[in-house]
């Protein structure tokens, strides 16, 4: 889960930075806020004010992306960077292609070709960060296990 959280945090940090620096940046925050508002209206629930709605969106994005990216290391240990990259590409493609069929505005993730490419790139970066962190944690865990086994062997020889 740590790798998934790292990927989600990287995605969110990159998104927040890019949207402040680039005029055609994706606005996944606004897409998320729109989706939450639509869902709340569907169930006749009160929509929170804009600040609270933004917090809900940010928390939901971090949680859902962390769970999603954690899949990069959930199965076999072979090729986690490839799996993380493919997960990121799939998430980015979904962010570009799914809003329209879901009845959400497409402009937030695919306003211009640049916007679509940035959207896919942000999710790709998140997937790669998740996989890299998982790989590093796995190596550290393996090293600690090897050192522990070596201590056991050494202490048994005394």
pTM tops 0.85: no
What residue numbers bound the domain in which 52 lies?
2-157
**Tens digits of per-residue pLDDT, 112-138?**
999 999 999 999 999 999 888 888 887
Q: How does pLDDT run across 99-118, given as a tens digit for each residue?
A: 999 999 999 999 899 999 99
**Residue-wise DSSP of 34-58:** HHHHHHHHHTTPPPPPHHHHHHHHH
SS3 4: helix
The total of structural domains in the chain comes to 1
């Amino acid at each position: 889960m740590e790798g998934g959280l790292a990927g989600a945090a990287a995605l969110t940090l990159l998104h927040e930075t890019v949207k402040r620096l680039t005029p055609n940046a994706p606005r996944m925050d606004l897409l998320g806020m729109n989706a939450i508002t639509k869902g709340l209206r569907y169930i006749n629930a009160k929509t929170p004010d804009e600040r609270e709605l933004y917090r809900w969106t940010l928390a939901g994005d971090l949680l859902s992306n962390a769970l999603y990216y954690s899949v990069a290391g959930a199965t076999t240990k072979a090729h986690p960077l490839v799996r993380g990259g493919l997960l990121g590409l799939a998430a980015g493609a979904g962010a570009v292609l799914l809003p329209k069929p879901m009845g959400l505005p497409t402009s937030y993730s695919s306003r211009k070709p640049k916007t679509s490419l940035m959207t896919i790139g942000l999710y790709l970066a998140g997937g790669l960060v998740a996989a890299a962190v998982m790989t590093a944690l796995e190596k550290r865990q393996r090293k600690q296990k090897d050192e522990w086994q070596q201590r056991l062997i050494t202490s048994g020889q005394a």
